[in-house]
Amino acid sequence: MKKIVLTLLLVSLNSFAQSTFRKGFMKTKADTKIDAYIMVFGYNIQEKVYYKTNKNSSKIHEISVEELNELSTEKTKYIRKQVSIEFLEKNMYAKNQNNSNKFNLSTANLFLKIELDAKNFTFYSYEKDGNEYYFVEKNNTINWLEFKKIKNNNKTFEVRNYRKQLLDEYKLKSVNKRGYIGSIKYKKKSLIEYFLKYANDENINSKNFSKITDSRDLKDLISITPKIGYSFYNQDTKAVQSNSFNSSFNSNNLNVGLDIELFFNTIYKKNSFIFSLQHHFKSETKDSINFGASSPVNVEIANNIGLTNLILSYRHYFKISDEKYIYSNAGVAYNLHSGSTKYTYTNGNEEANLTYNNTYSLFLSVGLNIKKYTVELNFMPISGDFKSKTDNEGISDWKFKRSVLSFNIGYEIF
């Protein structure tokens, strides 16, 4: 069970990604400016852009990149440019009809990401089908830094025209080492390092957008929801050596709890990982049972039990509307038991005083989320044994099974 809990934790932590909305603007091809809070993380801005017109709104809009000429936030910028390019197959391989060291360029209107912006040049990137293409603009002329892979007799060759382009237009003054240009790879990091050296040589200021990190708003990662509700117990207690001493009881009691929810990488609510703390206040029941002639005629059973659950669960949302979701949870609970079950036999005052071992159990839940409110139904099937046993009737092995059904309401405070 501990391995399951650890696996759930690791999987969820590896799934977290940025999804923060940042203040900025977009300009459409119709020259309309849209002031918005733009989602700039967690997805590829090459097909759609997700945004809010109000940061605190739960309504998310989307617009096709094909409608845009520009997108700008403080730390992320895109602009549409007409370029000459040869589109390649996966992993930058030339298409069969262009499998040569010559480049077959065609014109395209692309939405480019600004990676490095300097006074007299700009370095861009563009991603398509898993490939990254790089461009540089100088004196209002933009060129693709040409690179591709070709195959010849089952061997792969790289056509690295970009190195000659760098030497012709952006030659470094500060690096005299022969062969340095041969160390420049067709990778964003390597090319940006080269252009930063060039900017330094030319004594011009530059802004490296590729190095600007943007922390995720905590509110976009975590929500905190206190809960209150009612729990319904059904428990069977059994003396393993004798069926004569089996007993059952039902009770109900108030519970309070707290959910800390960590959202996965989604545009809308879809998946999350939740740590929950739930405390069920103690319930007391007393009952008198006649076990029959073979056992003490009358037994008084007093159940005075409390329960606290530490729960790790995975939640999946089903969207109804922008502010309304149905969800289901599945996970594991570590159950901290308190109190005892006590048997008192009337013919001689012998007694069994049983206190509970802590247990693991399955946790299941379904609920409804409307804006900041949640209403949910939880279920835990718990079984275990007792950590202390005092039994003058000679029975030393006792076990229990308890079903816990909880109805809770909650309100998100963060």
Instruction: Decide if pLDDT at 297 tops 60.
Output: no
Per-residue pLDDT, averaged over 325-350, amounts to 83
Please tell me the distance from the alpha carbon of residue 254 to that of residue 280, in angstroms, as a whole number: 6
Confidence category of residue 138, pLDDT binned at 50, 70, 90: very high
Check: pTM over 0.75? Answer yes or no.
no
Confidence category of residue 18, pLDDT binned at 50, 70, 90: very low
List, in order of start, the domains of the chain with CATH numbers. 75-211 (no CATH), 218-411 (2.40.160)
Instruction: Decide if pLDDT at 95 tops 70.
Output: yes
Please list, in sequence order, all residues whose beta carbon lies within 8 angstroms of the beta carbon of residue 349, skipping any fewer than 6 positions away. Answer: none
Question: 330 vs 282, which has greater pLDDT?
Answer: 330
Per-residue pLDDT, averaged over 75-80, amounts to 91
- Say which amino acid occupies 329: N
Sequential DSSP letters for 41-65? SSS-TTTEEEEESSTT----EEEEG
Per-residue pLDDT, averaged over 404-408, amounts to 94
Confidence category of residue 9, pLDDT binned at 50, 70, 90: very low
Please list, in sequence order, all residues whose beta carbon lies within 8 angstroms of the beta carbon of residue 102, skipping any fewer than 6 positions away. Answer: none
Q: What is the pLDDT of residue 259?
A: 93
Q: What is the pLDDT of residue 268?
A: 65
Find the angle CA(92)-CA(80)-CA(94) to the nearest 5 degrees: 15
Confidence category of residue 175, pLDDT binned at 50, 70, 90: confident
Assess contact for 383 and 332: CB atoms under 8 A: no
